[in-house]
């Protein structure tokens, strides 16, 4: 009798464990899909998101085969690849903006020196009688 109860408890635990694994995998896949849709809307470089799309498709295939650990790992990898693509795009944008601002600052310094030179020349002209 005790063995039957123990076996039933183990079976229930196993079923619940599989169900919770499936829920975690579903959530991970949904997260990766959502981030992928945002990446597509943001028009991120497709070469940077290709690995993420591949991992997402692999996660779906593993889920269909009920290999939940592999599915979760592939979905998580997909999510991380998409985040890397966003971070890379943000970095590239910041580098471009920094370059533009640096050029503007240099141009402002050159204008300042030019105006300073003009003022000095005008001051010299006024000083000479």
Mean pLDDT calculated for residue range 91-109: 87
Mean pLDDT calculated for residue range 5-28: 58
Reported confidence tier of residue 103, pLDDT bands at 50, 70, 90: confident
Reported confidence tier of residue 21, pLDDT bands at 50, 70, 90: confident
Reported confidence tier of residue 7, pLDDT bands at 50, 70, 90: very low
Mean pLDDT calculated for residue range 71-80: 93
Instruction: Report the greatest alpha carbon distance in the chain.
Output: 121
Q: What is the pLDDT of residue 3?
A: 45
Query: SS in 3 state form for the chain?
Result: CHHHHHHHHHHHHHHHHHHHHHHHHHHHHHHHHHHHHHHHHCCCCHHHHHHHHHHHHHHHHHHHCCCHHHHHHHHHHHHHHHHHHHHHHHHHHHHHHHHHHHHHHHHHHHHHHHHHHHHHHHHHHHHCC
Check if the beta carbon of residue 49 is closer than 8 Å to that of residue 36. Answer: yes
12-21, 71-80, 106-115: which range is least confident on average? 12-21
State yes or no: pLDDT of 10 exceeds 50: no
Q: What is the pTM of this model?
A: 0.65
Reported confidence tier of residue 20, pLDDT bands at 50, 70, 90: low
């Amino acid at each position: 009798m005790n063995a039957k109860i123990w076996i039933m408890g183990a079976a229930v635990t196993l079923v619940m464990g599989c169900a919770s694994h499936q829920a975690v995998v579903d959530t991970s896949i949904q997260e990766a899909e959502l981030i992928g849709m945002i990446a597509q809307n943001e028009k991120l470089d497709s070469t940077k998101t290709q690995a993420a799309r591949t991992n997402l498709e692999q996660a779906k295939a593993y889920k269909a085969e009920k290999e939940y650990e592999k599915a979760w790992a592939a979905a998580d990898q997909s999510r991380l690849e998409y985040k890397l693509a966003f971070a890379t795009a943000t970095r590239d944008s910041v580098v471009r903006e920094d370059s533009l601002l640096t050029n503007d600052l240099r141009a402002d310094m050159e204008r300042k020196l030019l105006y300073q030179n003009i003022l000095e020349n005008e001051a010299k002209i006024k000083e000479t009688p």
